Structure 1
Amino acid sequence: MRAISQDVLGGPEVLKVIETDRPEPGPTEVLVRVCAAGVNPTDWKHRAGGGFLGRPPFVLGWDVSGVVEATGVGVTLHKPGDEVFGMLRYPFGGGSHAEYVTAPSRTFAAKPSGIDHVQAGALPLAALTAWQGLVDTAGVREG
């Protein structure tokens, strides 16, 4: 499969398309064919400075939207063919800037039918940031 990787820290010019093995889902994991992946400020910050990712090589990307291709043993939440989106447990696995990703099935939710993969692939980290700002910082509550 193809993925966007980097061997050194730097600007966008350090990104390159590589060929790598397609991941296989482990127990409780799903394999998702990526249809769209978000690019967030954290991606370019890690690309340039490494951050908590450490030293390259690595594949960036938190947000993802796609189609379940296969499931590992014990997965009941999703099945092949399901359209899903979510935020990967990155950096503790592969990033979403690849053709396929694996992650625990609970990482993904059903993609709402009213949005496309591009919209769903841009949503998770932005939604988390909004939640943290409104609920955790501003103290917004029900009512």
Structure 2
Amino acid sequence: MRAMTIARFGGADALECRLLSESPPADNEVVLRVMAAGVNPVDRKMREGIMPQFLDADGLPAVLGCDVAGVVEAVGSGVRGWSIGDQCMAMTPDHQGGYADRVTIGSDLLAPIPPTLVFTEAAAMPLAGLTAWQGLVTHGALRRGSRVLIHAAAGGVGHFAVQIARAAGATVFATASGFASWLCCGPRGRSRHRLQDRTVRRHGGRY
């Protein structure tokens, strides 16, 4: 299979397309044919060698990429609930392996792609969505009636956090700058949200 690999740390020129061998899935794994892969800040930082907790020199060469969306091509003998041809998305273990034609991954890490999404949209969801979920639900004990302040609410994690909090029945207060505020509570949400457009100047900077 083809994969975008790095054998050294550096800029985008460190990425190199290589042919790699494939192995069959273990009992609890599936082989996912990658139709789209997301690009996150962590991918760049790992490529540049500034996140040794995820990838150090001993781990090279490596295939980067943690967000994938695609089609199940093979399933291990112990896999239940997933079949060949299913469309799903996932975040790969150790933030690696996604920039390839195929990725072998544990079936417990998969999520079905909603029918309203295409592969490229689904591939942008796992890392940002899970980060928002962990912050609000796993660590923040989000529940109905909670009052939640979300900064950078139009960002990758922020816009998921707004939706998760709303779905949980929380009262959401969100901040975003300029036009991005309409991504949070623009025309589709005006009947349910109050939009306040304010710019605060402090110490000569804009906040």
- 2:21 matched to 1:21? yes
Report the equivalent of 1:31: 31
Question: How do 1:1-143 and structure 2 match up within 5 A?
Answer: 1-49=1-49, 50-52=51-53, 53-55=55-57, 56-91=60-95, 94-135=96-137, 140-143=142-145
Offset, 1:139? 5.7
Q: How many residues get paired?
A: 141
* Separation of aligned partners in 2, 1:136 and 1:106: 18
Q: What is the Cα-based RMSD across aligned positions, in Å?
A: 1.6
Cα deviation, residue 54, structure 1: 1.4
Q: CA deviation at 1:109?
A: 1.1
- CA 1:141/1:12 → structure 2, altered by over 3 Å: closer, same or farther? same
The CA deviation at 1:39 is: 0.8
Contact kept, 8 Å, 1:61 with 1:90, in 2: the verdict is no
Equivalent residue letter for 1:123: M
SS at match of 1:44: helix
Higher RCO (CA < 8 A, seq sep 6+): 1
CA spacing shift, 1:139–1:104, aligned 2, 3 Å: closer
Question: 2:196: which partner in 1?
Answer: none
Q: Distance in 2 between matches of 1:135 and 1:75?
A: 28
Q: Which runs of 4+ in 1 moved over 6 A?
A: none
Gap regions ≥5 residues in structure 1: none
**C-alpha displacement of 1:142:** 2.2
Residue 88 (structure 1) shift: 1.1
| TM-score between both structures, scaled by the size of structure 1 | 0.91
For residue 142 of structure 1, what is the amino acid of its counterpart? Answer: R
Contact kept? 1:45, 1:51, Cα under 8 Å: no
Partner of 2:33: helix, strand, or coil?
Answer: strand
Quick check: 1:43–1:61 contact (8 Å CA) kept in 2?
yes
CA drift of 1:23 comes to: 3.2
* Structure 2: unaligned runs, 5 residues or longer: 146-207
- Kept in 2: contact 1:32–1:67 (CA 8 A): yes
